Amino acid sequence: MYEPFYGCKKSQISLVMIMLFLTLPALYTIELKHGEFTWKVKKKEKHFMELHRELRTYKTFVKLKLHPHSHTVRRTTVPKSEATQIPNLPKGGEEEGRGDTVSSRKKQLEDYLNKLLKMQKYRNYHATVRMCSKARIFSVIRFLEEGIVLKRSGGHRIPGLNCCGHRKMCYHWSKRWLVVKDSFLLYMKPDSGAISFVMLFDKEFSIKVDSKSTETKHGIRVDSLSRSLVLKFSNYRHARWWGQSLEKFAHDHGSAFLKDHRYGSFARVEDDIPAKWYVNGKTYMEDVADALEEAKEEIFITDWWLSPEIFLKRPVVEGNRWRLDCILKRKAEQGVRIFVMLYKEVELALGINSGYSKRTLLQLHPNIKVMRHPDHVSSSVYLWAHHEKIIVIDQSVAFVGGIDLAYGRWDDKEHRLTDVGSVTFAQVAHLIFDLSEGSGSSQAAPANGRDVIPKSNGNTIFTVMDSRDQPKLKGKRKKSRFSIRKRLHLTHHESDSDSERSTSVRSLNTGVGELSGNTRFWHGKDYCNFVHKDWVQLDKPFDDFIDRHTTPRMPWHDIASVVHGKAARDVARHFIQRWNFTKLVKPKYRALSYPFLLPKSHSTAGEQRYKVPGCVSARVQILRSASDWSAGIKYHEESIHNAYVDVIQQSQHFIYIENQFFISCADNKHVYNKIGDAIAQRIIKAHSEGKKYRVYVVTPLLPGFEGDINTGGGSAIQAVMHFNYRTMNRGEFSIISQLRKEMGDQWINYFSITGLRTHAELGGKLVTELIYVHSKMLIADDNTVIIGKRFMKNQKKITQCRWRRKFQTVRLFCFRLASMGPSILLKISSVIGQELRGRVFRCLPSSDVHSIQELEGYLAQPGLDKENPALAQEELKKIRGFLVQFPLQFLCEQNLLPQIGSKEAMVPMEVWT
């Protein structure tokens, strides 16, 4: 077997028809068909004779019981009624030449193979399989050319500390079976059939036959972005025939991959692609869970961070059914092959513990394969990271966006700050006790305030425990408890006023019926606030690491998408390129248990077994940023950056951007991306033409690093803030500085920067927290959107997709913009939200604080939440939505670059850009 996966059906050769055509004396072209797949092999007379001799030897060994155990197993599966006599092969000769003799011989060989291939015992024998080609990869594509060649080692484009085989001084020759298909070529070991290398067609694919290019006699050189592969043949005629055949085959069947596509992308523009966008993680993870359940063949997953124990559907009402690791284990047991690629972090800098994620997944089932990349020392990669989030099902459905399958990512449009679950605080317990006494109830409240069922004038206040916290009851008591809860559920809905007054009771539309009570959405490490405290002890997934009764969680705002058909094939092709490259550069993955992956044909992309509900038809192109260290290609692909700049330049009315970072405006020293410059130039053009044009930018109010903003936030937070502000309004390269040179203060009519913030009540006190904007998206003129995982900073490894369609709904649902329409109302709303929250909470960051020295004085003045909580509640009711104005003057008099001597100052400046 090529791929040691369990539960998969073995491929078999089953030929419907075989035809032989004479091309040269004693050289036959055999055309074989298997279902809808057709391929050709060239064989001489001696090959038929060798096959016949091997089959006779095999038959003798079987009869004498001298065969290996593998043949014994195969023999027991042959029906007893099947004939075991090898078909007769009439004698022929290499010297045959007359037309009538050749025609007769052709018919004899054709009958011989047809009879042989009808006999399962001999059809599956390795000599027969070798004669008719390697049949284990037929189902991938439609077209095939193949044969035995000698290949030279080396030629890979591997960066870092790799010398042997990388240069021409160290190489050797090996015999391999070369297979050419409609979008790639591969070669296999002839004895075992194990795939040894896969080369994808790309825009640099070319064939050279001359000895100067190949540096060998009778050779050809096959070039691509990932490798220069040299093949050697017995004579010039053979080499020339292979070179011409490869080139013709590639242009006939893979021309779409040989072109330079728009924006320099590896993928072309595809029309009529079913696609769908997601705002926040709730609906995204639900659709991911359903799509994973529909997988039949293979699942590809790549994440910056993956937490195996997260729940994809919430609240948890079906036990562990929708927990990620349980889903993957269930599919692996069904025979689905699962391939996972994780970013291998620098452990001193990041605490995502990808090693734990890998070990956890590998323990689930042998059908799950996990790789981590890069190895930082051997590859010399320290400044860059894989940051893409991709899920591909059967190479037909692909999820692309910014949402990791990890802790903290699940959220919905409510962006809740609290999730205390079933615990009732003393204040609420005291209220319940008072109500119980007032109603004359004899039932006392437990000391912990849980599972209390008091009554007061026919209305009910109660708590609902999580299923994992509920005691196991038996008999009548169990029945009584459920009947009481049913009555309480009905009683609760009879009083709307009680529901509004009680913050401990919440009603949610979960998609599985309406649940009432304190349903917990974030369990254990999933309840997080990474600015307050970064994750620790990830090997204990269900243990809290921050106090959810005193610290609000940090809401997570994100964007993702799903595409189907040919666009999904392109996403899968990108994943396959990364997987195969990682297998090549990391010795531990060179074992057969980690197979090379093969892309499916685009010609069958329209055969959809499953489609995500709610899709629309769109024009889609897959974009990416890739380079030598990440994908093993010769040139850096910057199609995402090129698309951003072009869409901004071509926009007519507005652009709307959400991004986790806002670092741009090239100085060609530390910052190289030109997105900010494109924004400034487009606004200047609109101003000079006297046309209306708006740019809306939504970005986090603070970088997502652990640090106490009350004392300045720490060096890491300040370093990112420095480059954010350098892009926005500080320094000669900033967008606002460029605009002021052309239009003075009129820039405010064209350009606005905002963030997101919300508030809630926790433990009887008002609390506020920013909503972390993690999305990477650009919308232009309501007809073009770029969704994916590209930071607005220097980036080396991400994947995105660009759509063209009407996208009014995207803009409205990105988050609640206070139901505002015109830009002036949008601006007023953000200003009101910022001012009111600032007056109530004295929250940071704030434009009232210009230096670290002013922080203490600013925080010493109490807000309304402490001076007058009742008035604070009334003020907060005036706020609509989450939008707040970005504090452009925060710490404007402070040097935010890391101080000399700090650990942040020791790393290269490129880390922050």
* Cis status, amide bond into 315, omega within 30 of 0: yes
State mean pLDDT over 564-577: 96
Share of the chain above pLDDT 90, in %: 44
State mean pLDDT over 125-134: 70
What's residue 437's pLDDT? 41
What's residue 7's pLDDT? 39
pLDDT tens digits along 584-615? 888 778 888 899 999 999 999 988 899 999 99
More confident residue, 398 or 428: 398
pLDDT band at 501 (very low <50, low <70, confident <90, very high): very low
pLDDT band at 132 (very low <50, low <70, confident <90, very high): confident
What's residue 464's pLDDT? 33
The least confident of 201-205, 462-466, 898-902 is 462-466
Parallel, antiparallel, or unpaired for β 654-658 and 776-780?
A: antiparallel
Can you read off the two tokens belonging to residue 196? 């040894």
Report which secondary-structure segment, H or E, holds 93. Answer: none
Polymer length in residues for the chain: 913
What's residue 83's pLDDT? 52
Cα 899-900-905 angle, rounded to 5 deg? 75
Inter-residue contact 339 to 298 (CB < 8 Å): yes
State mean pLDDT over 408-428: 77
More confident residue, 73 or 661: 661
pLDDT band at 166 (very low <50, low <70, confident <90, very high): very low
pLDDT tens digits along 314-334? 999 999 999 999 999 999 999
Let me know how many helices (H) and strands (E) the chain has, helices first: 26, 31
The least confident of 2-6, 263-267, 707-711, 725-729 is 2-6
pLDDT band at 192 (very low <50, low <70, confident <90, very high): confident
pLDDT tens digits along 843-874? 999 999 999 999 989 999 999 999 999 999 99
- CB neighbour list of residue 220: distance below 8 Å, 6 or more residues apart: 207, 208, 209, 214, 230, 231, 233, 239, 242, 243, 246
What's residue 294's pLDDT? 97
More confident residue, 506 or 283: 283
pLDDT surpasses 70 at 468: no
The least confident of 96-100, 206-210, 301-305, 416-420 is 96-100
State mean pLDDT over 436-461: 36
pLDDT tens digits along 4-56? 344 333 333 333 344 444 444 567 777 777 655 566 777 778 888 888 888 88
In this structure, which topology does domain 1-135 adopt according to CATH? PX Domain (3.30.1520)
State mean pLDDT over 342-362: 88
What's residue 225's pLDDT? 92
What's residue 383's pLDDT? 65
What's residue 577's pLDDT? 95
pLDDT surpasses 70 at 471: no
What's residue 133's pLDDT? 59
- Residue among 411, 395, 413 at smallest CA distance from 403: 411
What's residue 131's pLDDT? 76
State mean pLDDT over 111-137: 72
- Give domain limits for the chain: 1-135, 141-259, 674-772+817-913
pLDDT surpasses 70 at 779: yes
Share of the chain above pLDDT 70, in %: 72
Q: What is the DSSP string of 801-843?
A: EEEES--HHHHHHSS--TT--SHHHHHHHHHHHHHHHHHHH--
Can you read off the two tokens belonging to residue 324? 């990620």
What's residue 500's pLDDT? 35
Report which secondary-structure segment, H or E, holds 219. Answer: strand 219-223
pLDDT band at 802 (very low <50, low <70, confident <90, very high): low
d(CA 92, CA 49): 9
- Residue among 94, 226, 64, 87 at smallest CA distance from 596: 226
Inter-residue contact 635 to 628 (CB < 8 Å): no
pLDDT surpasses 90 at 415: yes
d(CA 315, CA 413): 15
Q: With DSSP H G I counted as helix, E B as strand and the rest as coil, what are the percentages for the chain, rounded to 5?
A: 35, 20, 45
Average pLDDT, whole number, for the chain?
A: 78
Domain made up of 141-259: CATH architecture:
Roll (2.30)
pLDDT surpasses 90 at 551: yes
State mean pLDDT over 799-807: 58
Instruction: Tell me which residue has tokens 């390129």.
Output: 577
The least confident of 307-311, 472-476, 504-508 is 504-508
pLDDT tens digits along 49-80? 888 888 888 888 777 765 544 444 344 444 44
What's residue 138's pLDDT? 39
pLDDT tens digits along 260-295? 999 999 999 999 999 999 999 999 999 999 999 999
What's residue 470's pLDDT? 40
d(CA 734, CA 666): 9
pLDDT tens digits along 218-236? 899 999 999 999 999 888 8
Parallel, antiparallel, or unpaired for β 219-223 and 206-208?
A: antiparallel
State mean pLDDT over 106-116: 82
The least confident of 252-261, 492-501, 573-582 is 492-501
Rg (CA), the chain: 33
- Listed ranges 205-214, 456-465, 630-639, 748-757; the one with the highest mean pLDDT: 748-757
What's residue 510's pLDDT? 42
Cα 519-523-528 angle, rounded to 5 deg? 115
The least confident of 124-133, 362-371, 742-751 is 124-133
More confident residue, 906 or 848: 848
State mean pLDDT over 756-777: 94
d(CA 544, CA 407): 12
The least confident of 455-459, 613-617, 904-908 is 455-459
pLDDT surpasses 80 at 674: yes
What's residue 821's pLDDT? 44
Q: What is the DSSP string of 669-699?
A: SS----HHHHHHHHHHHHHHHT---EEEEE-
What's residue 828's pLDDT? 56
Going 386 to 391 to 396 to 401, the CA torsion angle's sign is: negative
